[in-house]
Structures are given as C-alpha cells and as structure tokens.
C-alpha cells in the first residue's frame, strides 16, 4: 500500500513538473473545466458524503473542453482519510474511500481506527484479520454479544474459540492429522466430543438425520437413522432395517438375537395357580386336549407361533403356569403314591403275621 502511494506521488509530481503549483479556492468539485490543479474549500460541494468545512482537492482534467472527464483525490483537513473518483462526464459521480495503512501498519475498511492488520467494520459486525498479532480471523458483533475467533495454533492446529482473546475459550479443534475435537484440544479419533450435553442430528421437512459408517472405498457398511415417526432404525449395506426401536419403545429384530442375559419384567406372574380357587384341569382332560390338538391347553400351536410370533413375556408366564400346574399334579401324585406305600406296608405286616401263625 505504501508503494502505491509513493507511485501516486511520483505520477502527480511528474504531471505538474515545470508548472507553478498554487492552491486555489473552489467549492464545487464537479465543476466542468479543463484545468488540472490543487484546490481547497470551506464549503465542499460534490465531495464525499458528509463532507463539511475545510477540504483539499487534487483534480486531473481532460484537455477537451466539450466534456467533463477527470480523475480526483480529496481529503479533509482534519483526518487521514483519502477519497478517489473518476468524473466520467458526470459531476455527481460517487466517491470511493482509498484503503490505507495507519502508522501501526493496520488497514481499516469501514473503520477509521483499525486495530488489526485488516479491520472490516459494518453496522452489525466487525471482522478482524491477525487480531492481537495472531494468525486469526476474529468476528466481533457490535451489539455486545460473544466474540468468536478462527485461528491457527502454535501446535499446527486450527481452532474455533470464544472470548476477548484469540484461542482463550477453545470450542473446536482440528488437528493436522484430520482429527476433530469438540470440547477437547487433543482429539485422538476422527471426531471426539467431550463434555456434558446432547449430540443432536436434526433434519428438516421429510428428510431424516443419518449416521453412516463406511470404509475408505465409500462402501456403506452400516447406517443409523430416524424417520419422522420418532423411531430409530439400524441397517446394513442394503438399507433394509435389521433392528428397529419404535417411538413407543417396541423393539424389532429381523434375524437372530444373542445375549448373555435378558431380563423380562412383566406382572402379574403365574402364582395364581397356587390359589385354592384355581380350576386345575384333570389329567384326563389334559390328555384328551393333547391327543386332539397336539399342544398343551392355553399354549399356542406351532403354526400360530410361526404366523403371529411369540410374546416372550407372556409366553414365559404361560410356561411358568404350566410348570406350576405340573408341580400340583406331582404333589397330588406323590400323595397318592404315599397312600399306596402305607397301604402296601400294612398289607405286608398282615401277611407276615398270618405266615407266622401258620408256621406254629
């Protein structure tokens, strides 16, 4: 930028070389003329917006008096700003502010007092380049909200941080090996999230949020997604759900399920079998039912299970009910067996007594 200003000074010096340079008074910067020169005014007209009181004007004009072409530089007596425009036969052409370095080497766009290498200031946001001498882009809202920074760290990483100073409150870290950390400065995997809170995948409209697992060859190996019904689906590489969790808590598994332990909690149990009022069927009736239908009473047939499936909780209770019924049958049979044993023992004693008398 300094080299450009020096070049401009050289060109202007050459332009007016050999002439007696005097500053003249002229209020209207757009006044048609063929005379180039230096001017000053206390009543600026056709100067940059907001111009008032004393201003300088450097005006380079075309030699043809029939047009109003020129190149102009202007600046106030009271600041270090410089303005430029070309008057292409239009005295009302807009002015553009020349971007200059200040004494600290900072450049401001929309800012008269830049405090970073590049300071871009709008009505709602200020963007700084190399703020605090750091390799960073800083975003400062003019409403007093949080200040954010994107910076290159000393450890060859890229950081997103929040706070008054660059890299003060780091939020996201990207290492040079591609690992990304949220809430951690040293992620050891491709994505590492540390800290409390929720991890949310949210889609809009009829779309669904997906987590896709694939190899480097871009072959999809697995997918987890949620439809707009609130359920959760798990699939392999063919996108057909093999495991589903519905929004009501029901779970569906398409193939085999293997586990060390499954706990089923459901009430009531089958203890009602041991109540005095329980109508325990006669074994003869159970035998008739088995011969006729080829399955136990109150237990679904094999065809029904194959067609409708089996409710594990209800089925376990039914099995327990049959075990408890079998226990009652065993108890009853044991009583009858005991009675027969006692009767047999009595008969044996009677026979022994008779034999003893016969021997005598």
- Alpha-carbon distance 102 to 114, whole Å? 8
- Alpha-carbon distance 178 to 191, whole Å? 9
- Alpha-carbon distance 202 to 200, whole Å? 6
CB 60 within 8 A of CB 15: yes
Report which of 217, 234, 214 is spatially closest to residue 225, judged by C-alpha positions: 234
* Residue environment code for 125-146, b if the CB has 16+ CB neighbours within 10 A, otherwise e: ebbbbbbeebebbbbbeeeeee
Identify the residue whose tokens are 């003249």.
24
Sheet holding 232-235, edge to edge: 209-214, 220-226, 232-235, 241-245, 251-253
What is the model's pLDDT at position 56? Answer: 94
What is the model's pLDDT at position 7? Answer: 46
First to last CA, the chain: 146
Report which of 27, 70, 33, 57 is spatially closest to residue 45, judged by C-alpha positions: 27
What is the model's pLDDT at position 219? Answer: 63
By residue count, the chain amounts to 360
Per-residue pLDDT of the chain (360 residues; tens, 9 = 90+): 454 544 454 445 555 444 556 889 999 998 888 889 999 999 999 999 999 999 999 999 888 877 788 999 999 999 888 999 998 888 889 998 887 888 788 888 778 788 788 888 777 788 888 888 888 888 888 777 889 999 997 788 999 999 989 988 899 999 999 999 998 988 988 888 888 766 666 666 556 667 777 765 656 578 887 877 778 888 887 778 888 888 888 888 888 888 888 777 766 788 888 889 999 999 899 999 999 999 999 998 999 988 888 887 888 888 889 999 999 999 999 999 999 999 999 999 999 888 888 886
The DSSP string of 114-145 is --SSEEEE-SSEEEEESGGGSSEEEEEETTS-
- Alpha-carbon distance 91 to 74, whole Å? 14
Report which of 207, 238, 204, 237 is spatially closest to residue 222, judged by C-alpha positions: 237
- Alpha-carbon distance 273 to 184, whole Å? 60
């Amino acid at each position: 930028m300094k080299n450009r200003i020096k070049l401009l000074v050289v060109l202007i010096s050459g332009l007016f070389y050999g002439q007696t340079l005097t500053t003249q008074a002229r209020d209207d910067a757009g006044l048609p003329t063929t005379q180039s020169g230096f001017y000053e005014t206390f009543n600026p007209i056709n100067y940059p917006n907001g111009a008032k009181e004393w201003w300088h004007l450097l005006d380079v004009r075309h030699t043809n008096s029939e047009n109003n072409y020129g190149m102009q530089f202007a600046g106030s007596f009271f600041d270090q700003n410089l303005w430029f425009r070309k008057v292409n036969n239009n005295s009302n052409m807009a002015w553009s502010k020349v971007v200059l370095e200040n004494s600290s080497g900072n450049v401001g766009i929309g800012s008269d007092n830049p405090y970073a290498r590049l300071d871009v200031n709008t009505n709602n946001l200020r963007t700084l380049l190399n703020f605090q001498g750091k390799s960073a882009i800083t975003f400062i809202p003019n409403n007093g909200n949080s200040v954010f920074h994107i910076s290159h760290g000393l450890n060859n990483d890229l950081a997103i941080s929040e706070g008054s100073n660059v890299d003060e409150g780091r939020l996201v870290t990207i290492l040079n090996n591609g690992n990304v950390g949220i809430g951690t400065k040293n992620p050891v995997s491709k994505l590492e999230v540390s800290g409390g809170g929720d991890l949310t995948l949210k889609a809009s409209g009829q779309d669904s949020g997906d987590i896709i697992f694939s190899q480097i060859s871009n072959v999809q190996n697995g997918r987890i997604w949620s439809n707009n019904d609130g359920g959760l689906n798990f699939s392999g590489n063919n996108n057909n759900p093999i495991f589903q969790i519905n929004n009501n808590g029901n779970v569906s598994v398409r193939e085999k399920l293997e586990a060390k332990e499954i706990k089923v909690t459901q009430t009531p149990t089958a203890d009602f079998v041991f109540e005095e009022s329980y109508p325990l069927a006669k074994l003869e009736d159970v035998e008739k039912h088995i011969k006729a239908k080829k399955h136990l009473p109150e237990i679904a047939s094999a065809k029904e299970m194959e067609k409708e499936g089996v409710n594990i909780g209800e089925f376990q209770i039914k099995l327990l009910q049959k075990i408890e019924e079998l226990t009652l049958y065993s108890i009853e049979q044991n009583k009858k067996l005991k009675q027969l044993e006692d009767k047999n023992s009595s008969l044996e004693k009677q026979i022994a007594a008779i034999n003893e008398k016969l021997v005598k």
